[in-house]
Amino acid sequence: MAQHTPTPVAAQPTALPPPRAASRRAWAIAVVAGAAIVIAGAFTTVPGLLVTPLHDEYAWDRDQIAMAASINMVLFGLTAPFAAALMERVGIRRVATGAMLLIAVGALLTSGMTSPWQLLLYWGVLIGLGTGCLTMTFAALITGRWFVRRRGLVTGALSASSHLGQLLFLPLLAWAIERYDWRLPVVTLALVGLAVAALVALLLRDHPAEINARPYGGMEFVPKPVPAQGAARRTLAVLFSAGRTRLFWLLAGMFIICGASTNGIMWSNWVPAAHDHGMHATVAASLLSLIGIFSAIGAALSGWLTDRFDPRRLLTVYFTVRALTLIALPQLLAATADPSLIAFSVIYGVVDVATVPPVIALCQRAYGDDGPIVFGWVNSTHQLGAGASAYLGAAARDVFGGYDVVWTALGAACLIAALLALVVRAPRSARPAAAPSTD
């Protein structure tokens, strides 16, 4: 008779570190993860700054350059769910370190390119795959393993981290490209990516059990899960299972529109759109950075609100506000950053990434342990919308001679997303019980 081999389970440690020490480590892990997301976010905004320099230097068509951004965004989204399963198989730290190295190598190779296909390969494929591993799916895994209390707040903070890349690097990159050459800032950013890869490899940990600690705010020790087998197979199985639920398709529909109306159009088309109105590139990049500042604030605030209010109602409010700002934008764009355009940047920025914490919360509550992977698939639809918007926005500019029709169409789409949020059925929470506060 064949013998049954029991599934290995991590043992309960005999002694746990003091609660405050474990709490500090959880926040340190969140900071390291945030640093990786910040740098990955900085790389996703660069293509918008390269459109004019590459067009002037190589006489490449704008839609060729936009295609690289489009491929980057699509791979960014499609990689996320597989990256989540791979992280559960081989570890978060290994995958995140490899992703940062892939991003840095792609940027270094881009600095020496001479043909459009190289831009598609280096920036579109390599950097797209690398940044796709460091999305909000990565953030969902970190918060799901390391936090019970403050989960929404941490999710919001990590969601904001990608836009902090704009805040920290975009104006400086725009200034450096105008003053020197596009290659110098790209190489500099690649070197920063290498430094962050080393930081992730040294400090990030996959699970609290690795240091014999409980998750932040948890009442019980949680053993480290056995590495998942068949990462790709499980990712597809989760997709097929979630795809049979109405909630998945509602969230996916909202996030297609979300991606098209945020990073899809802004990261690759904002600077050219502002340039069409006579605005200096550095001023346009500064406004995009201002959007990034308030995106960070809005995402963190949204995480706090998600801990306290119905995520569905929050999504309805966010999409409605975004629709109104985009519809008003054609009347606001001008050669200078006047008060009305600054007000647009603030209001649009607040709701820019605010949609992420409610959607992560809905995925975690509805799909339990599969929540991060489900969110990865939902986020992939976000990037499909973003990739289509990046390319079609540039194409529409060539056809119509401007972006006014683009802003109006995206505003109308956001109103549809607000209506979709109203018909989502709230799932029961699957979150574990929290311990009394120790912070």
| Crossing angle for the helix pair 263-276 and 404-422, to the nearest 10 degrees | 150
Residue 436 lies in a domain: no
Residue 399 lies in a domain: yes
Partnered with residue 132 across adjacent β-strands are none
Partnered with residue 216 across adjacent β-strands are 147
Mean pLDDT by 10 residues, the chain (439 residues): 42 52 76 87 75 78 76 79 80 91 91 84 88 80 80 75 68 77 84 92 83 72 67 81 92 93 82 84 82 83 87 94 94 87 93 89 85 83 83 82 90 95 69 43
Instruction: Return the pLDDT at 436.
Output: 45
Three-state SS sequence of the chain: CCCCCCCCCCCCCCCCCCHHHHHHHHHHHHHHHHHHHHHHHHHHHCHHHHHHHHHHHHCCCHHHHHHHHHHHHHHHHHHHHHHHHHHHHHCHHHHHHHHHHHHHHHHHHHCCCCCHHHHHHHHHHHHHHHHHCCCHHHHHHHHHHHECCCHHHHHHHHHHHHHHHHHHHHHHHHHHHHHCCCHHHHHHHHHHHHHHHHHHHHHCCCCHHHHCCCCECECCCCCCCCCCCCHHHHHHHHHHHHCCCHHHHHHHHHHHHHHHHCHHHHHHHHHHHHHHCCCCHHHHHHHHHHHHHHHHHHHHHHHHHHCCCCHHHHHHHHHHHHHHHHHHHHHCCCCCCCHHHHHHHHHHHHHHCCCHHHHHHHHHHHHHHHHHHHHHHHHHHHHHHHHHHHHHHHHHHHHHCCCHHHHHHHHHHHHHHHHHHHCCCCCCCCCCCECCCCC
Residue 15 lies in a domain: no
From residue 202, give the alpha-carbon distance in Å to each of 11, 32, 130.
25, 10, 19
Residue 124 lies in a domain: yes
- CA dist., res. 75 & res. 103, Å (int): 13
Residue 66 CB: number of other CB atoms within 10 A?
Answer: 24
- CA dist., res. 402 & res. 406, Å (int): 8
Question: Do residues 63 and 395 lie in contact, with contact meaning Cβ atoms separated by under 8 Å?
Answer: yes
Residue 438 lies in a domain: no
From residue 129, give the alpha-carbon distance in Å to each of 95, 98, 379.
11, 10, 14
What is the count of structural domains for the chain? 1
Residue 3 lies in a domain: no
150: Cα separation from own chain's centroid: 20
Q: Would you state the structure tokens that stand for residue 232, as one six-digit string?
A: 């790709």
Instruction: Return the pLDDT at 256.
Output: 94
pTM: 0.67
CATH number at residue 94: 1.20.1250.20
Residue 219 lies in a domain: yes
Instruction: Return the pLDDT at 73.
Output: 76
Residue 200 lies in a domain: yes
Domain that holds residue 353: 20-422
- CA dist., res. 183 & res. 180, Å (int): 9
Q: Would you state the structure tokens that stand for residue 128, as one six-digit string?
A: 């797209």
Instruction: Return the pLDDT at 430.
Output: 41
Partnered with residue 218 across adjacent β-strands are 434
